[in-house]
Chains A and B, each alone.
Chain A
Amino acid sequence: GIQVEQSPPDLILQEGANSTLRCNFSDSVNNLQWFHQNPWGQLINLFYIPSGTKQNGRLSATTVATERYSLLYISSSQTTDSGVYFCAVGETSGSRLTFGEGTQLTVNP
């Protein structure tokens, strides 16, 4: 099956700093989603981005499908951005999502 690798596994920032999270995948995809898992376990949809670039406030994402990677940018980070960020991909032939191991982000005041 498809492999999904996220980096870095852990990231500690000071409030106001910028960061880039990376997601590499091993095969063609028809779905790529970024999620933020809050402390209560709820997965919040950040981006549906199988290709191209999107922005939503302080967050933006870029997927280069031909090179099999996606990037999530967080600017001017806030303490409420803390949590685990997951990348998940869906293979071209089906609808199931395969998750990466996540990036644990801690933003300190």
Chain B
Amino acid sequence: GAVVSQHPSRVICKSGTSVKIECRSLDFQATTMFWYRQFPKQSLMLMATSNEGSKATYEQGVEKDKFLINHASLTLSTLTVTSAHPEDSSFYICSARVVSGREGLYNEQFFGPGTRLTVL
């Protein structure tokens, strides 16, 4: 299967600082990547869809100025949590979509290992 990496795997920061998380597709090109957030004992919630070369699409209730997304190349998307606060502490997971066939008939997503953010 396709491989997606994330860096860093874990970050601890002070309140008010900004944190950047990288998501890379290692063996395929991904025009579309996704960013999810997961709280303990809960499911994954989609935060935003990242499209290469264009602005990200944010889900309702997600602050675009708080969570900056840049998809500058076909293999890299970054999520920057700006002015992080303790309530931003969470597990952030990215995914990349493999599309093949006419009209995207094959449409599987592969996930990175996640980044655990702790804001003190």
Q: Chain A residues in contact with chain B, CB under 8 A?
A: 30-31, 33, 35, 40-43, 45, 48, 86, 88, 90, 95-102
A99 and B113 contact, CB distance less than 8 A:
no
Beyond A41-B93, A86-B43, A86-B44, whether A95 also contacts B107 by CB under 8 A is yes
CA distance A101 to B46 in the complex (A): 13
Q: Is the interface of B mostly helix, strand, loop or mixed?
A: strand
Shortest beta-carbon distance, B51 to chain A, in Å?
10
Does B111 interact with chain A (Cβ within 8 Å)?
yes
Contact residues on B (Cβ < 8 Å of other chain), bracket: 20 to 34
A42 and B113 contact, CB distance less than 8 A:
yes
Contacts of B32 in A (CB 8 A): 95
Contacts of B111 in A (CB 8 A): 35, 42-43, 45
- Chosen A-B contacts, 13 in total, with CB atoms closer than 8 Å, are A30-B107, A31-B108, A41-B113, A42-B111, A43-B95, A86-B43, A86-B44, A95-B97, A96-B49, A99-B44, A99-B45, A101-B42, A102-B43
Does B29 interact with chain A (Cβ within 8 Å)?
no
CA distance A55 to B114 in the complex (A): 27
Contacting A at CB under 8 A, from B11-45, are 32, 34, 38, 42-45
- 4 tightest CB-CB pairs across the interface, nearest first? A43-B111, A48-B108, A41-B114, A99-B44
Question: CB within 8 A of B109: which of A97, A101, A102?
Answer: A97
Shortest beta-carbon distance, A36 to chain B, in Å?
11
Q: Is the interface of A mostly helix, strand, loop or mixed?
A: strand
Contacts of B44 in A (CB 8 A): 86, 88, 99
Beyond A30-B107, A95-B32, whether A42 also contacts B43 by CB under 8 A is no
A97 and B34 contact, CB distance less than 8 A:
yes
Shortest beta-carbon distance, A90 to chain B, in Å?
6
Contacts of B93 in A (CB 8 A): 41, 43
A45 and B108 contact, CB distance less than 8 A:
yes
